[in-house]
Amino acid sequence: MDGWKDVIRKENSPILEKLDTKLKKKVKKTLQASQPSEFFGQDFTRLGDLIDTLKSLDVEKSANKKIEAMEEKNMEIVASAAELRKDYELLYNQIRNMIYPKKKGDLND
């Protein structure tokens, strides 16, 4: 039913209604391209998998310490990425709501 919410909100866009067709299309396309996706953290997950693989190898003690340090650093990066993801989603939703403001009576109120 998310599609219905979008249809209702898109009919009420004071920002878009003032734009010419070309600029309106550009704003819509850029907004859509900016939408957060599920791929945001995949690189960090893959790096974690690589580190786990390295940890499972029989390596020298000094190399093992380096791998543990890398694992800790990756965990810090993942935590930062999660925080950034939340900030990104919040900002994206604020921008989207500015372009497609909610009206009283919308399905998502």
- The per-residue b/e assignment along 35-55, b for 16 or more CB within 10 angstroms, e otherwise, is eeeeeeeeebeebbeebeebe
Q: Sign of torsion, CA 26 27 29 30? A: positive
**Dihedral in degrees, nearest 10, Cα atoms 32, 33, 35, 40:** 160
For the stretch 22-75, pLDDT in tens is 998 999 899 988 888 878 778 878 888 999 999 888 889 899 999 999 999 999
Tell me the chain's radius of gyration from C-alpha atoms: 22
- pTM (2 decimals)? 0.68
Residues, the chain: 109
